[in-house]
Amino acid sequence: MPDLGLEVLLKGQNMERLLIGLLAALKISLVSVAVSLPLGILLGTLMTWKNPFIKAVLRVYLEIIRIMPQMVLLFLVFFGTTRAFGWDLSGESASVIVFSLWGTAEMSDLVRGALISIPLHQYESGEALGLSKVQIYRYIVVPQTLRRLIPLSINLITRMIKTTSLVLMIGVVEILKVAQQIIEANRTASPNAAFGIYLVVFLLYFFACWPISVAARYLEKRWR
Amino acid sequence: MKNSVLKKFISIAAAVSAILALTACGSQGTESDSQKAETQKEELTAGADTVYRTLDEIKEDGTIRIGVFSDKNPFGYVDENGEYQGYDVYFANKIGEDLGVKVDFVSTEAANRIEYLQTGKVDIILANFTVTEERAEEVDFALPYMNVALGVVSPDDKVVESLDDWNSDDQIIVISGTTAETYLTENYPDIPLQKYDSYATAKNALENRNGVAWANDNTEVIAYALQNKGYTVGIPELGSKDTIAPAVSKGNETLLQWINDEIKALADEQFFHADYDATLVDTYGEEYKEELVVEGGVTE
């Protein structure tokens, strides 16, 4: 078996540090997801309304967030708010703000897409049956939209978890930074450790994202 | 053996998740954050764009924030117990001790060091920061505590000791974007360069004899020659000597003055020699001590 340098993980508290790093990443992403999902659903619904003013504002918000790389957003919120307003946000708070802004924008577009994909005749059939507007949404539109949203939002959530690797640029020590620290601290003693440690990081990310996929598959089946 | 590794892995994972389940999402940090924000605001209203904390403010606060590398062994790195270590960190701890405050280490990257000082998010940067004219316009450098120059390493059987009278068939290996590349392009335009993107690829190239020598920061090539048998640093110092120094936010006179006085005072106890012995000697050996260490801020 090739030397993967895994013994490095058993030195001192290295494995614990890696897991604590994973939790730091998960904390940032899951708090942001918890903010993004409801806000995204709200904004996505607003986007399907006919009000041109609301539509324009949301469109600009979405495009700005979508065009701007997350790294730039992180720098803007972490350093920019200090320059402009003198706020001293911690790296974690800045990350949660950026990831929530980003998640909300992307989620709102997913919701908008899912909503307008429900064909017009479904609404009309509901009306023809004498259902009220609330009933049409409750029994016809929302269930179908939710089902369409599941795979899309799982994509977004796992992407948000993985993108937390950028927050090391604003001083937050998360799993990838810990991995780099461990590899570099053992550069001479175990030069092969990089491969083994990145393998472990991969597995940890996998086990963090996998339950989400499983839950999604369960929901998809249940709501069929 | 494998089984016990797995067991340890699982037990650690279980222990950690249990601990974290108990303390998870605790609200530690939020309080100190808001406090920090308040002090920051006061400073901002005090002066138009002074974002830094003066010496007195740091002492009053009881904590100094120092930006260091967390993955540049042996200058600034984190050991297996999660403690910051290295040449820069050794000095940072001394600063904390002599100032009578706690040191709060902030993990910085090469690309965000200046930004951290300009926004006052750290008080001092001690992250192997090379003094350059461009940087000196953005931040204030204190007295230096280490030398850096370029170095050239080559195989033992054909050691390159001079770049003059170069045979134009021979190529020198460099990493793109480094000072070595800039320096050679400017000063030795006739020497053909072989450029690589990363340390690992450049290293492979030298080992495969794609070039006759490898030029890089001398700390890098010295460490390389010591760790790999069959290679010698033929040119340990090339070009202008640069220095590494602590940096503070532009205009933070009180802190800058204190650091300068501290560096001068530490010369009496040969502090940076002791720092070298504690942190760098394993990587660079005794023979480069005088070349790398700057004591009392005095360079020849």
Whether B82 sits inside 8 A of A187 (CB atoms) is: no
> Closest by alpha carbon to A107, among A50, A167, A66, A166?
A66
Mean pLDDT per block of 10 residues along chain B (300 residues) reads 47 43 36 44 47 93 95 90 95 96 93 91 93 91 94 93 89 86 91 86 88 91 88 88 93 96 95 95 87 88
Question: CA–CA distance from B271 to each of B30, B73, B220, B245, B283 (Å)?
Answer: 38, 20, 23, 15, 19
Q: How far is A141 from chain B (nearest CA, A)?
A: 36
Place of tokens 């190529």: B171
Give which of B2, B9, B12, B219 to mutate to test A binding, by max A Cβ within 10 Å: B12
Find all residues with CB under 8 Å of A52, minimum gap 6, and list them.
Answer: none
User: What φ, ψ does residue B80 adopt, rounded to 5°?
Assistant: -70, -10
Tell whether A39 is within 8 A of chain B (Cβ).
no
The token duo for A117 is 């994909």
Contact by Cβ (8 Å): B89, B104? no
Of B13, B72, B283, the CB nearest to A19: B13
Name chain A contacts of B118, Cβ cutoff 8 Å: 79, 83
Using only C-alpha atoms, chain B has a radius of gyration, in whole angstroms, of 22
User: How far B41 CA sits from the closest chain A CA (Å)?
Assistant: 6
Q: Which residues of A touch B119 (CB under 8 A)?
A: 79, 82-83
Residues near B185 by beta carbon (within 8 Å), at least 6 away in sequence = B193
Task: Provide the token pair at B180.
Answer: 């070595």
The pLDDT assigned to B12 comes to 44
pLDDT band for position A89 (50/70/90)? very high
Torsion angle in degrees (nearest 10) through CA of B87, B90, B91, B93 = 150
Closest-CA residue of A relative to B108 is A171
CB distance A88–B227 less than 8 Å?
no
Q: Which pLDDT value is given to residue B49?
A: 60
Distance of alpha carbon A42 from alpha carbon A39, whole angstroms: 5
**Distances in whole angstroms, Cα of residue B281 to Cα of each of B207, B223, B273:** 25, 10, 10
Q: Which residues in B lie closer than 8 A to residue A12 (C-beta atoms)?
A: 79-82
State both tokens at A222: 């249940």
Residue A164 has pLDDT above 50, yes or no: yes
- Counting residues of chain A whose pLDDT is more than 70, the rounded percentage is 99
Distance CA B66, CA B64 (A): 6
Query: Do B34-145+245-286 and B148-242 show the same overall fold?
Result: yes
> Do the beta carbons of residue A49 and residue A116 sit within 8 Å?
no
**B-interface mutation test, from A20, A77, A184, most B Cβ less than 10 A away:** A184
- Show the tokens assigned to B28: 């530690």
On whether any CB of chain B is under 8 Å from the CB of A89, the answer is: yes
Q: What's the rounded Cα separation, in Å, for the pair B232 and B299?
A: 26
Overall size of chain B counted in residues: 300
Q: Does A184 touch chain B (CB under 8 A)?
A: yes
Over range A126-131, report the average pLDDT: 93
- Tokens in use for B169? 């068939």
Which carries the bigger pLDDT value, residue B27 or residue A104?
A: A104
Note the CATH number of domain B34-145+245-286: 3.40.190.10
Amino acid B182: pLDDT: 85
Q: Does A197 reside within a domain?
A: yes
Examine the pLDDT at A209 and tell me if it is beyond 60: yes
Q: Can you give the pLDDT at residue B283?
A: 86
Q: Do the Cβ atoms of B16 and A19 come within 8 Å?
A: yes
Which stretch of A30-34, A89-93, B44-48, B199-203 has the lowest confidence by average pLDDT?
B44-48
Residue A183 touches partner B, C-beta closer than 8 Å: yes
Strand order in the sheet with B102-107: B102-107, B63-68, B124-125, B247-249, B139-141
Q: What is the pLDDT of residue A1?
A: 59
CA distance B185 to B239: 12
Domain boundaries B148-242, corresponding CATH code: 3.40.190.10
Nearest Cα neighbor of A28 from A102, A88, A97, A76 is: A97
Residue B125, SS3 per DSSP: strand
A41 versus B199: the higher-pLDDT residue is: A41
Question: Which residues are B150's β-sheet partners?
Answer: B217, B238
CB contact under 8 A, B71 and A171: no
Domain-located, residue A155? yes
Longest dimension (CA), chain A: 76
Report CA-CA distances (Å) from B9 to A184, B22, B119, B151: 21, 20, 41, 43
- Candidates B32, B68, B80, B280, partner chain A, best to mutate (most A CBs within 10 A): B80
CATH classification of the domain holding A188: 1.10.3720.10
Tally A–B CB contacts below 8 A. 109
- Of the partner residues B15, B108, B119, the one whose CB lies closest to the CB of residue A79: B119
Domain-embedded: residue A95 = yes
Structure tokens at A71: 């790294």
pLDDT over threshold 70, residue A50: yes
Identify which of B73, B106, B120 has the shortest CB distance to residue A185. B73
Query: Among partner residues A15, A23, A184, which is closest to B71 by beta-carbon distance?
Result: A184
Total Cβ atoms within 10 A of residue B9? 15
Domain count, chain A: 1
Cβ–Cβ of A82/B9 closer than 8 Å?
no
Read off the tokens for B294: 């700057």
Is A193 a residue whose pLDDT tops 60? Answer: yes
Inter-axis angle of helices A175-185 and A14-47, to 10 degrees? Answer: 150
Q: What is the mean pLDDT of residues A171-199?
A: 87
**Domain encompassing residue A117:** 6-222
* Domain presence at residue A199: yes
Is position A154 within any domain? Answer: yes
Q: Looking at residue B122, what is its pLDDT?
A: 95
All structural domains of chain B with their residue ranges: 34-145+245-286, 148-242
Tell me, what's the pLDDT at B20? 38
Is residue A1 a part of any domain in this protein? no
Question: If you write DSSP's letter for every residue of A172-205 in order, what string do you get?
Answer: ---HHHHHHHHHHHTTTT-TTHHHHHHHHHHHHH
- Is residue A74 in a domain? yes
